[in-house]
Chains A and B, each alone.
Chain A
Amino acid sequence: MATEALGLWGVPLAIIAGTLRGSVPFLFVSLGECLTEKSGKINLGLEGTLLMGAMSAYAVSYLTGSPWLGVIVAGVAGMFLGLIHGWLSQQPRVNDVAVGIAMIIFGSGLAFSLGKPFIQPSAPQLPTISLAGWTQIPQLESALSISPLFLVGVAIAPLMQWFFRSSRWGLLIRAVGDSPDAARAMGISIFKVRMASIVAGSFLAGIGGASLSLFYPGSWSERISSGQGLMAVALVIFARWNPVQCLFASLLFGGAQAIGPAMQSVGIDAYYYLFNASPYILTLLIMVITCSPKRTLTGAPGALGQAQE
């Protein structure tokens, strides 16, 4: 193994590299989910959206030779699933979580059946940006080549924060998510605001899928997401519905995901599967720590997940 040349320094290096690579889908899905939940709806279906995004990005990149076109199509495919979720979950007395689970199955099933022909061929990948021009060590160079999508996501987080604070639309979304009655009294269409938030959130999640298939791990298979879309939902709770904290939480989850491969790269094979499970363990721990029967979470949108009468 090449990393062995760096000795034990290879572990933190591999974790940093894994963080920069592996956090991109978490980042996009959690920002999408943050936007959706701010409007008062939960979209568990982003797991399916992620897979659909990954499949469509890979297929379009393979068929047209343009990975960037693949990214756009992934977002559009996400919006299509978002439209379905937005409409279904806003029917009277419909529960968003139930619709979300249905959408996970629908989205992943659609992605698997449409994506069958694209498992074997290799599609053009997104270009990477190297931050390692100053070093000659090849391991560092490969570790520090990052995806342009990562930079886009890092830019979106503070922009979204500012959007919620200082734009009329941002205030409207927060109003709808926190107190639909108040929003209705202002003459705002709750359906439209939530629909727009869900569709925009699904667009972001679709792009998260594109980064899976066109950057890291950079191929299309049915096991590509391994539950990252669902973990991103937990991550939004951990981040207290704050986009900038979603960024940090995504880095944490991306890092946790990199622990297993990093240990393996320096030859520590014991507990490989246990280390690989660290993001899931982290999700469980966060749920246990943040949930209490005696109190509600601070920062949660007031009307989150409530069915319309």
Chain B
Amino acid sequence: MKATIAAPQTKTAPPELEVINLTKRFGTFTALDQVSIKVTPGSFHALLGENGAGKSTLVKCIMGFYTPTSGDVLVDKQSRTIASPKDAHHFGIGMVYQHFTSVPAMTVAENLVLSRYDSPQWINWAAEYDRLDAFMASSPFQIDLRTPIAQLAAGQKQKLEILKQLYLNSRVLILDEPTSVLTPNEADEVLGLLREEVTEGHLSVLMISHKFREVMAFTDEVTVLRKGQLAGHGYVRDLTVDDMAHMMLGEKKEATPVKKVTVADPRSVLELKHLCADRDNGLPAVRSASLTVNSGEIVGIAGVSGNGQRELVEVLAGQRPRHSGDILVNGTPYQSTRREMARHQVYTLPEEPLRNACVPHMSVAENMALRTFDCPPQAKQGWLLSLSNIRRMAEGLVQVFSVKTPSVDTPVGHLSGGNVQRTVLARELSSTEINLLIAANPCFGLDFSAVDYIHSQILAARNRGVAVLLVSEDLDELLKLSDRIFVISDGELVYESPTATADIKTLGQKMAGH
């Protein structure tokens, strides 16, 4: 083992990984039903499916996080018991998770050494650095070994996660949506380099993905899951995007067409003038951002996560003090107080709604009333709450916004992600006089139908004359919805263009900070 780490150039061929008739039940719920998949050595295999289709359950069974209810995992044609990720590693299988699993306060070298299952109790750093340098020289990506993880960009962190598996000598890599935090250019670079390794026969890759573009460009084979069952399998060269979408979604679902109405005499609703804000650690996050959002317009802000979007939205939502600069709403200075929000009818759909826009232990009805509980009819004389009115209003909203909840008294923290987002959406979009909407990653982690619903709601608001500021890490979403698009990079708005004439290549370059 040590010898192979010392000399990673002696690359062995990847083993064959096969799953036969795997079933996994959680109580009465069947997450996976008789699923089979085969990853042939030296192939790039895509695993497609909607949220909840069972993709993660399948790979977690392979990795030993879950014990399958029935079925077999075969490595090199022999049935194996994999009880933990350590066992999986023993068979040469390694997984790259959707979230980063490196320790932020440690350097790249410390993370790599720590990830090894056989690392010695006492570490001789001089010798380790020699070995790590040799490993880096022969690996597809290079990262400075002495940099702390916290200082790496998202793309570099993702590369490190993959490097970690190569360093562990994993020959079958399982990647869980590896490009969700990367710009299109970074994604192409990472996948392209992996593709080369696969083509040379050093690796097999099983990649969970949503992105048809990446599947078409980089993978050989595709297996599709739907509702825990095998929905299709095939070679990418024989399939079209439509075929795969059909397998993924079952009956053909068309995205609700986007219709945009031009709103008469737009006026400026939100205006930022040289807005600056700091991160938690006191370093600047937003550097002198200036922009205007007009009524009946969606202004998109694109950028890779961690470039100041979060802090910008927090300042607008009143969650973070600004460092300097002005925010004007309807031409008057705006401090994000509750009184001003009510007067100017400013509403927010923040990211992570359970953390930023809900009180998880309070009921759906109470959460839906957070904006209006102190106004009639929900309160009498401004202080005595009418619980029956709060419930009645919530019941109406649950109907209109089709929130799936056992009752309006259920704590909102018990709902699924999509229904939490619908609850917030119901609260924020139900006002008839809404004037300004600030949305941040409103569809993050939601499935196709929820995304479609939220998009149509945002567009409907825009067509009613609402000014919308949409901050998103999903470039496709921004290109679909926004009228004008900005790019934020390292806290600065570095690019502005009407969406219709925006050049996607330039957008990608600006997002990557070039």
Q: How far is the CB of A185 from chain B (nearest CB, A)?
A: 4
**Are the C-beta atoms of B121 and A185 separated by less than 8 Å?**
no
**A-contacting residues, B99-155, CB 8 Å:** 99-106, 110, 113-115, 119-125
**Are the C-beta atoms of B114 and A171 separated by less than 8 Å?**
yes
In terms of DSSP, what is the predominant structure of the interface of chain A?
helix
| CB contacts between A and B, total, < 8 Å | 67
Q: Which of A126-134, A176-184, A210-218 contacts B (4 or more CB under 8 A)?
A: A176-184
Instruction: Give B67-88 as 1s and 0s: 1 = Cβ < 8 Å from A's Cβ atoms.
Output: 0000000000000000011100
**Are the C-beta atoms of B106 and A178 separated by less than 8 Å?**
yes
- For A5, the chain B residues whose CB sits under 8 A away are none
**Are the C-beta atoms of B279 and A179 separated by less than 8 Å?**
no
A181 to B281: give the CA distance in the assembly, Å: 21
- For A168, the chain B residues whose CB sits under 8 A away are 114, 119-123
**Are the C-beta atoms of A178 and B85 separated by less than 8 Å?**
no
Q: Is A42 part of the contact surface with B, judged by Cβ < 8 Å? A: no
Choose from B97, B99, B123, B278 the contact partner of A295 (Cβ within 8 Å): B278
Instruction: Give A293-308 as 1s and 0s: 1 = Cβ < 8 Å from B's Cβ atoms.
Output: 0111010011000000
Count of interface residues, chain B, beta-carbon cutoff 8 Å: 29
A185 to B115: give the CA distance in the assembly, Å: 10
Count of interface residues, chain A, beta-carbon cutoff 8 Å: 24
Question: If A181-B101, A182-B101 touch, does A298 touch B106 (CB 8 Å cutoff)?
Answer: no
Question: If A166-B125, A179-B104, A187-B84 touch, does A171 touch B281 (CB 8 Å cutoff)?
Answer: no
Q: Is A9 part of the contact surface with B, judged by Cβ < 8 Å? A: no
A183 to B102: give the CA distance in the assembly, Å: 8
- For B106, the chain A residues whose CB sits under 8 A away are 171, 174-175, 178
Q: Considering residues A168, A181, A295, which has the most beta carbons from chain B within 10 angstroms of its beta carbon?
A: A168
- For B257, the chain A residues whose CB sits under 8 A away are none
Q: Is B282 part of the contact surface with A, judged by Cβ < 8 Å? A: yes
**Are the C-beta atoms of A292 and B282 separated by less than 8 Å?**
yes
**Are the C-beta atoms of B113 and A187 separated by less than 8 Å?**
no
Instruction: Give A153-187 as 1s and 0s: 1 = Cβ < 8 Å from B's Cβ atoms.
Output: 00000000000011111011011001101110111
A165 to B122: give the CA distance in the assembly, Å: 10
A166 to B113: give the CA distance in the assembly, Å: 10
Q: How far is the CB of A170 from chain B (nearest CB, A)?
A: 9
Other contacts beyond A179-B103, A295-B278: 19, CB < 8 A? A166-B123, A166-B124, A167-B121, A168-B114, A171-B106, A171-B114, A172-B114, A178-B106, A179-B104, A182-B100, A182-B103, A183-B103, A185-B101, A186-B101, A186-B114, A187-B85, A294-B282, A295-B281, A302-B104
A-B contact pairs, 24 of them (CB 8 A): A165-B125, A166-B124, A166-B125, A167-B121, A168-B122, A168-B123, A171-B114, A171-B123, A172-B114, A175-B114, A178-B106, A181-B101, A182-B101, A185-B97, A186-B114, A187-B86, A294-B278, A294-B282, A294-B321, A295-B278, A295-B279, A295-B282, A296-B280, A301-B105
Interface of A with B (CB < 8 Å)?
165-169, 171-172, 174-175, 178-179, 181-183, 185-187, 292, 294-296, 298, 301-302
Interface of B with A (CB < 8 Å)?
84-86, 97, 99-106, 110, 113-115, 119-125, 278-282, 321
